Chain A
């Protein structure tokens, strides 16, 4: 990328059941902690489920100093809270027209469709209106872009942010990803038989499905002419479709393989510390990812997956897992894959349930989702890998 301006991380935040800052979250994951718990009878759901859910009182408490008289849903409080913490760290004027907000979410305020929910105007179920609560909060004049590409939204939003900055129209892009769980989402995944009743086990021989989770995460990106060795650079990303099935991944990992190939470019696999996978712990997803990684010539590169700590946080996943991967490399660490014990995919991967040391400075974030979509994004500390 010689001479070209680079897209650099300016600030970040994670709000999850494991903590209200990136540092708290990284420390918890490094110690192997998780808030995955079994819930029975919650939201009047007939079947129990295991999920990583926020203590909503804690969110209320953290939000209290931000209160401005307007009434916000729990989802809106999560995105405003996460964005405000990252904005404070970046010390930017969020009201500037040179700042754009991008929101990655799949279901936003979908709980408002429940007939018993009457506290908010109906239009707030529309994702663009939920996002507007956030831009209005920060007095930002630009229309927020909502990326709603199922489970890959968090990586799509970052690729979108890179493009908005490359085109020169904006100086900062506040990229926020969030989803909060509800009867709607949990029952849907249950109907798909996609949920594990126990904490999930990514890539394991005995994996039985995924868990769901609440989270919000924010990365602020900017453009820089000269990067320092500690700057986190978003190098290259791609979104590719399997062109195969709307609710099951391609057996041959078609879209993930193609996205990985573009993201890797000419970079040697030796330079990559790890691939942070989607790793949902469903039978088909993990199998598909292992094939895609092998086809892309990356089967010697260590991989990990973080769903065993958080469950699948949907719109937040791509952004939260990117931030945690950056912190891990800052700490010379490849985070353990919690829940994994025995290799359970037919294309073997380099995978561990223990933290592993690394001195490498680049990683790939990989995601896949319903609609046959896949996304991969290469990050390197200090510039091109």
Chain B
């Protein structure tokens, strides 16, 4: 099967190598992409930037794949890698507890202080009951990622993986390179 790939940085979007036009940059661009290419999932606006990035990238990827959407399935895994885990959400949450005189921890902010939340967001959107996993590495390392993605097929039910690099340090610094790979 054709391998599909989506690449997103704060000022560039490519689907299978082809540039996708946009006017905004950074997190505003993710919202622009959501409005232009998705539009029917208001939960998007509650997400942190890492989840927005993963959500938009996975939507564009699945649109490129062109298979029937939203059919419950257990044979597709979601496996992401990054360097910063949930650093943006962590920093935002820390700000709410830094000052004992102005202490306002919020559950809505705390829940995103786990990198794997984005894998859950994608599973919910697509009714994926299969494996979801998040792996943190010191740097983007394509050899290790290839090894781990191949390992994902050792699950007895997994036949395809939506996976790749998904890193975000703040609203203006992020990178997604997601692809679909199929069991050979």
CA distance A340 to B137 in the complex (A): 40
The yes or no answer to A15 lying at the interface (CB within 8 A) is no
The yes or no answer to A294 lying at the interface (CB within 8 A) is no
CA distance A244 to B43 in the complex (A): 13
16-70 of chain A: CB within 8 A of chain B = 44, 46
Cβ–Cβ < 8 Å partners of A370 in chain B: 111, 114, 116-117, 120
Q: Flag if A127 contacts B114 (CB, 8 Å).
A: no
| Residues of B within 8 A of A (CB-CB), count | 54
The yes or no answer to A163 lying at the interface (CB within 8 A) is yes
CA distance A161 to B38 in the complex (A): 38
CB-based nearest A residue for B112 = A246
- Interface residue stretch chosen among B2-10, B19-27, B61-69, B127-135: B127-135
83-135 of chain B: CB within 8 A of chain A = 83-85, 87, 90-91, 93-94, 97-98, 100, 103, 105-107, 110-111, 113-117, 119-121, 123-124, 126-135
Q: Flag if B157 contacts A241 (CB, 8 Å).
A: no
The yes or no answer to B141 lying at the interface (CB within 8 A) is yes
- Interface residue stretch chosen among B28-36, B147-155, B173-181: B147-155
Among B87, B107, B129, which residue has the most Cβ atoms of chain A within 10 A?
Answer: B129
B135 is contacted by which of A114, A146, A190, A193 (Cβ under 8 Å)? Answer: A146
The yes or no answer to A297 lying at the interface (CB within 8 A) is no
The yes or no answer to B39 lying at the interface (CB within 8 A) is no
Min CB distance B181 to A, Å, is: 16
Cβ–Cβ < 8 Å partners of B100 in chain A: 44, 46
Q: A148-B115, A371-B114 are in contact. Are A246 and B124 (CB under 8 A)?
A: yes
CA distance A302 to B180 in the complex (A): 41
| Residues of A within 8 A of B (CB-CB), count | 58
CA distance A167 to B124 in the complex (A): 31
Among A125, A132, A241, A242, which residue has the most Cβ atoms of chain B within 10 A?
Answer: A241
CB-based nearest A residue for B43 = A246
Cβ–Cβ < 8 Å partners of B78 in chain A: 241
Q: A156-B133, A246-B124, A371-B114 are in contact. Are A113 and B90 (CB under 8 A)?
A: yes
- Kindly count the residue-residue contacts between A and B in the assembled complex, taking CB atoms under 8 Å apart: 165
276-334 of chain A: CB within 8 A of chain B = none
A184 is contacted by which of B74, B97, B120 (Cβ under 8 Å)? Answer: B97
Cβ–Cβ < 8 Å partners of B134 in chain A: 147-149
CB-based nearest A residue for B115 = A148
CA distance A148 to B133 in the complex (A): 8
B129 is contacted by which of A125, A167, A193, A240 (Cβ under 8 Å)? Answer: A240
Q: A126-B85, A128-B138 are in contact. Are A246 and B117 (CB under 8 A)?
A: yes
Among A113, A131, A164, A167, which residue has the most Cβ atoms of chain B within 10 A?
Answer: A113
The yes or no answer to A11 lying at the interface (CB within 8 A) is no
- A-B contacts besides A191-B106, A246-B121, A246-B124, 19 pairs, CB < 8 Å: A46-B100, A106-B114, A114-B94, A125-B87, A125-B90, A126-B84, A126-B85, A127-B85, A128-B83, A128-B136, A150-B116, A187-B97, A190-B105, A241-B119, A241-B120, A242-B120, A243-B126, A243-B128, A245-B124
**Could you list which residues of chain A lie within 8 angstroms of chain B, going by C-beta atoms?**
44, 46, 106-107, 110, 113-115, 125-129, 131-132, 143, 145-150, 156, 160, 162-164, 166-167, 169, 183-184, 187-193, 238-247, 254-255, 258, 262, 369-373
**Could you list which residues of chain B lie within 8 angstroms of chain A, going by C-beta atoms?**
72, 74, 78, 83-85, 87, 90-91, 93-94, 97-98, 100, 103, 105-107, 110-111, 113-117, 119-121, 123-124, 126-139, 141, 144, 147-148, 150-151, 154-157
Cross-chain pairs A/B with CB under 8 angstroms, 19 sampled: A126-B85, A128-B137, A148-B116, A148-B136, A150-B117, A163-B154, A167-B151, A187-B97, A239-B132, A240-B131, A241-B120, A241-B129, A241-B130, A241-B131, A243-B124, A262-B155, A262-B157, A371-B119, A373-B119
